[in-house]
Amino acid sequence: MTFDLFSTSEPQPLTISQITGHIKATLEAAFDNVSVIGEISNYKKHTPSGHAYFSLKDDSAALSAVMWRSRVSQLFFSPQDGMKVVARGRITVYPPRGNYQLDVVSLQPAGMGELQIAFEKLKQKLFEEGLFDDRHKKTLPKFPTRIGIVTSETGAAFRDIISVIKRRFPPVELILYPVRVQGSGAAEEIAQAIRDMNKYGGLDVMITGRGGGSLEDLWPFNEEIVARAIFESAIPIVSAVGHEVDYSIADLVADVRAPTPSAAAEIVAPDRREMLEILNEFAYTLSCRVYEMVREKRETIRQQLKTYSFNKPYDLLRSFSQRVDELDRHLKSTLTHRLDITSVHVTSLNQRLESLDPERVINRGYTIVYDDGKILQSKKETMQHGKGEIRFKDGRVGFLVRKDA
């Protein structure tokens, strides 16, 4: 069906669907592959579909645009309002609303200046939120035992980090979380890796970064999602993105910025040779100090030994020892004297006992009268018993007492 715009005859009425269909066919055929330059406005990424809806505008006109999820995931940067871009795609018509829009196939910044503008805008935003403040920076451990690494497993950065750490501090354990470090989806992978490393736990410090490249190559480390993952990390993070002259948003948020991945490895891993030198110097200093302390204490003891207060106990001990000797001599003298007196007294008593010995009495002519072994002392006792025994010097004789009639 064709239309003659200059026909004078009465046109046949068409339905809305018919006219929209004709417009759709005409526009889509005429603008099947176009590139449009304009400024992004009202950029929104729909959740959960992941499709992006926005407008492209210049000073006098605006064009609606849509970018499907599969193409959004291939972007190396995050589109932002105000960013000037070049969008390639085809014009399509959305019949339910009768709107035409650009179905975007690819989206690129209009120039490197646009990326720099986006960089400065995000930098200012995060600065105002305090993500760069030194008060949020965490201190790196001096002697880490486990180091996490978030980078590409095939990149030169990872090889450089391993080489430096093995040379400087071999005992440390390295935990790699491999990610893409450029291109579409790289920023999301890096941010997720940082979060997963924190969930994994047990790490003392983390290195994230990559080797040098263009601004486009390094752009994942300028994404807001990566910056916030670094800021929220409980593990100290060293950012090592590109070469020394390259600066990224990740460098500004991280706890420490290293100019290169190799430098990051040197920052987190102590040098074992320097440690050995420090230990040797410490041991030498400690031994000298101990020797000096012993010498000082020894001299102090010598001086104390000479003081009156320290020697007084010895003086007292010597005095008491001398007193003990004197008491010992006095005791011995007293005991000897007492023994002599006692000996004389015992001798006297012995002599007295000997003088009273019955045997000696008998030898002098006396006798002893016994009655059944008992010495009789009076005449009455003989009268009572009537018999007994008399002991003489040379023997014994019995007797019998007779009573007078």
Superfamily of domain 131-270: Succinyl-CoA synthetase domains (3.40.50.261)
Detail the DSSP E strand segments found in 166-231.
173-178, 205-210
Q: Which residue has the higher pLDDT, 262 or 371?
A: 262
- Least confident segment among 74-83, 158-167, 358-367: 358-367
- Least confident segment among 31-35, 186-190, 204-208, 350-354: 350-354
- Least confident segment among 110-124, 171-185, 367-381: 367-381
Per-residue pLDDT averaged across 367-373, rounded?
Answer: 78
How far apart CA 31 and CA 45 sit, in angstroms, is 25
Does the N-terminal peptide bond of residue 48 adopt cis geometry, omega within 30 degrees of 0? yes
Q: Which of 84, 79, 80, 76 is nearest to 110 (CA)?
A: 84
Per-residue pLDDT averaged across 86-109, rounded?
Answer: 88
Q: Which CATH class is domain 16-110?
A: mainly beta
- Least confident segment among 32-36, 103-107, 400-404: 400-404
Q: Which of 95, 96, 102 is nearest to 21 (CA)?
A: 95
What 3-state DSSP class applies to 159? helix
Sign of CA dihedral 293, 294, 297, 303: negative
pLDDT bracket for residue 204 (50, 70, 90) = very high
Pairing between β-strand 368-371 and β-strand 374-375 as defined by DSSP bridges: antiparallel
- Stretch (H or E) spanning 102: strand 99-109
pLDDT at 233: 96
Across-strand partners of 93? 100
Task: Judge whether residue 176 has pLDDT over 90.
Answer: yes
Q: Which of 45, 39, 41, 56 is nearest to 102 (CA)?
A: 56
DSSP character for 48?
Answer: T
- What is the per-residue pLDDT across 31-73, written as a single tens digit (0 to 9) for each? 888 989 988 889 898 888 889 999 999 888 999 999 998 888 7
Pairing between β-strand 173-178 and β-strand 146-151 as defined by DSSP bridges: parallel
Per-residue pLDDT averaged across 147-173, rounded?
Answer: 93
Instruction: Give whole-number Cα distances, 50 to 127, 138, 189, in Å.
Output: 28, 35, 16
Q: For 230, phi and psi rounded to 5 degrees? A: -65, -45
pLDDT at 63: 92
Per-residue pLDDT averaged across 197-212, rounded?
Answer: 93
Task: Judge whether residue 120 has pLDDT over 90.
Answer: no
Q: For 235, phi and psi rounded to 5 degrees? A: -90, 135
What 3-state DSSP class applies to 399? strand
pLDDT bracket for residue 308 (50, 70, 90) = confident
Task: Judge whether residue 25 has pLDDT over 90.
Answer: no
Taking phi over 0 as left and psi of -120 to 50 as alpha, with beta for the rest, 349 belongs to alpha
DSSP character for 137?
Answer: P
Q: Which residue has the higher pLDDT, 396 or 256?
A: 256
Q: Which residue has the higher pLDDT, 164 or 23?
A: 164
The average confidence (pLDDT) of the chain is 86
Q: Which two tokens stand for residue 88?
A: 């390639």
Q: Could you tell me the strand order of the sheet in which 173-178 lies?
A: 173-178, 146-151, 205-210, 237-241, 256-257
pLDDT at 386: 67
Task: Judge whether residue 5 has pLDDT over 60.
Answer: no
Per-residue pLDDT averaged across 129-144, rounded?
Answer: 94
Task: Answer whether 100's CB lies under 8 Å from 94's CB.
Answer: yes
- Residue 218's Cβ-count burial label (10 Å; 0-12, 13-18, 19+) is buried
Instruction: Give whole-number Cα distances, 14 to 29, 159, 371, in Å.
Output: 21, 69, 183
Task: Answer whether 84's CB lies under 8 Å from 77's CB.
Answer: no
Task: Judge whether residue 1 has pLDDT over 60.
Answer: no
pLDDT at 405: 41
Task: Judge whether residue 112 has pLDDT over 80.
Answer: no
Percentage of the chain lying above the pLDDT 70 cut: 95
- Least confident segment among 173-182, 253-262, 352-361: 352-361
Task: Judge whether residue 2 has pLDDT over 60.
Answer: no
Task: Answer whether 92's CB lies under 8 Å from 104's CB.
Answer: no
